[in-house]
């Protein structure tokens, strides 16, 4: 090999290496939950899968425990193109995505399976379109369970059981109206104040998903857990449209596949967590009232009277009707 030939070969090798380095890319994913949380486990698995599917071209750099932003800040950063990917609760998107407000309507979904079917249909397309208008691509949804009521003095089995209850709620107009409509008094409190409020008698009831009911320790104070499943609002994984546009079609396909797979994985983890949580609560003295033991028709009949207040136009009405009709 002549000197000139060797130099040309070396330059070609350097150029190839430079190309490989340039193609390797970190995508930052922001998460507020700490290590060990189901969502963090899911995102770590997704990162490994993405590296495999993209043949090392894409790597997830997970920033959990709120290291970069809280959920509201993460959403604003996604919209501004200042963050690659974030896992956000749908509630944070409601101010920008009209369709999300409809999802918070009580008893809209008959079951989680019903919710997943709705999200996989026309309603999901509407959500995706609205998100894209605000600078985000919806990659997938994560389960966050269904919320049910838990009480200290008596179980909720019918509409009359709400009468006179003081129910802790999130600061949500829909929840305030729901509790009032059911004949109880809504009490807005920070989540970390709920246990003390139960002990002092400030509240008689609260609502949340089963894993939170147990992990918070509330099951030790409010032993009646009535599985009315009044709300099912998922988490969402979004990527900035600015970042998405810089990925090749093959990279987009790999990322979407890894995200979709992570959703299926997370749903199984969540389902297992629910079973374990309810079993623990029951073993330690909680009384679990199954949905089949609750006179749901009377409760739902009052709750749906709220729908007209939150449907702003005929399109919203058509959307809600389509959701209710989804098999």
Q: Give the pLDDT score at 8.
A: 53
Q: Is the pLDDT of residue 201 over 90?
A: yes
- Please write the tens of the pLDDT for every residue from 100-153: 888 889 999 988 899 999 999 989 999 999 999 999 999 999 998 999 999 999
Residue entry with tokens 């007209």: 308
pTM here is: 0.80
- CB neighbours of 159 closer than 8 A, spacing ≥ 6? 182, 183, 295, 298, 299, 302
| CATH code of the domain made up of 8-96+134-143+234-273 | 3.40.190.170
pLDDT band at 284 (very low <50, low <70, confident <90, very high): very high
Separation between Cα atoms, residue 88 and residue 279, nearest integer Å: 29
Q: Give the pLDDT score at 84.
A: 98
Q: Are 317 and 311 in contact (CB under 8 A)?
A: yes
Region 218-235 average pLDDT: 95
The lowest-confidence range among 21-25, 145-149, 321-325 is 21-25
Does residue 23 or residue 310 have the better pLDDT? 310
- Please write the tens of the pLDDT for every residue from 69-92: 988 899 999 999 999 999 998 878
Q: Are 306 and 108 in contact (CB under 8 A)?
A: no
Hey, CA dihedral for 202, 203, 208, 214, is it positive or negative? positive
What's the order of all strands across the beta sheet hosting 185-188?
A: 185-188, 166-169, 205-208, 147-151, 224-231, 287-289
- Please write the tens of the pLDDT for every residue from 1-18: 555 454 454 455 445 444
Q: Is the pLDDT of residue 57 over 80?
A: yes
Q: Which CATH architecture has domain 147-232+280-325?
A: 3-Layer(aba) Sandwich (3.40)
* Strand-pair partners of 86: 30, 238
Q: Which two tokens stand for residue 264?
A: 């299926």
Separation between Cα atoms, residue 214 and residue 203, nearest integer Å: 18
Q: Give the domain ranges of the chain.
A: 8-96+134-143+234-273, 147-232+280-325
DSSP-assigned letters across all residues of 207-218: EE-HHHHHHTSG
Q: Do domains 8-96+134-143+234-273 and 147-232+280-325 have the same CATH topology?
A: yes
- Please write the tens of the pLDDT for every residue from 172-196: 888 899 999 999 999 999 888 999 9
Residue entry with tokens 């679990």: 288
Q: Give the pLDDT score at 265.
A: 96
Q: Are 135 and 173 in contact (CB under 8 A)?
A: no
Burial of 59 (0-12, 13-18, 19+ CB in 10 A): middle
Q: Is the pLDDT of residue 204 over 50?
A: yes
Question: Among 167, 144, 120, which Cα is nearest to 71's?
Answer: 144
């Amino acid at each position: 090999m002549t000197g000139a030939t060797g130099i040309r070969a070396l330059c070609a090798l350097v150029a190839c290496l430079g190309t490989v380095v340039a193609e390797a890319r970190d995508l930052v994913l922001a998460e507020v939950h700490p290590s060990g949380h189901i969502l963090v486990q899911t995102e770590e698995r997704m990162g490994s899968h993405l590296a495999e599917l993209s043949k090392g071209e894409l790597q997830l750099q997970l920033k959990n425990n709120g290291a970069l932003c809280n959920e509201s800040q993460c959403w604003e950063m996604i919209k501004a193109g200042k963050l690659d990917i974030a896992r956000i609760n749908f509630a944070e998107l409601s101010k920008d995505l009209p369709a999300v407000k409809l999802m918070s309507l009580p008893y809209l979904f008959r079951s989680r399976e019903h919710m997943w079917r709705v999200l996989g249909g026309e309603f999901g397309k509407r959500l995706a379109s609205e998100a894209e208008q605000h600078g985000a691509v919806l990659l997938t949804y994560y389960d966050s369970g269904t919320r049910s009521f838990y009480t200290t003095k008596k179980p909720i089995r019918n509409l009359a059981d709400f009468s006179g209850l003081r129910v802790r709620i999130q600061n949500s107009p829909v929840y305030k109206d729901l509790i009032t409509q059911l004949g109880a008094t809504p009490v807005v409190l920070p989540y970390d104040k709920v246990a003390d409020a139960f002990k002092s008698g400030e509240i008689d009831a609260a609502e949340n998903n089963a894993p939170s009911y147990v992990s918070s320790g509330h099951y030790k104070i409010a032993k009646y857990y009535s599985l009315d499943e009044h709300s099912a609002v998922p988490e969402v994984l979004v990527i900035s449209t600015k970042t998405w546009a810089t990925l090749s079609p093959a990279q987009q396909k790999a990322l979407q596949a890894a995200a979709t797979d992570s959703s299926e994985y997370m749903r199984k983890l969540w389902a297992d967590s629910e079973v374990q949580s309810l079993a623990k609560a029951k073993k330690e003295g909680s009384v679990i009232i199954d949905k089949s033991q609750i006179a749901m028709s009377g409760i739902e009949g009052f709750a749906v009277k709220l729908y007209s207040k939150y449907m702003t136009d005929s399109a919203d009405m058509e959307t809600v009707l389509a959701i209710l009709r989804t098999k």
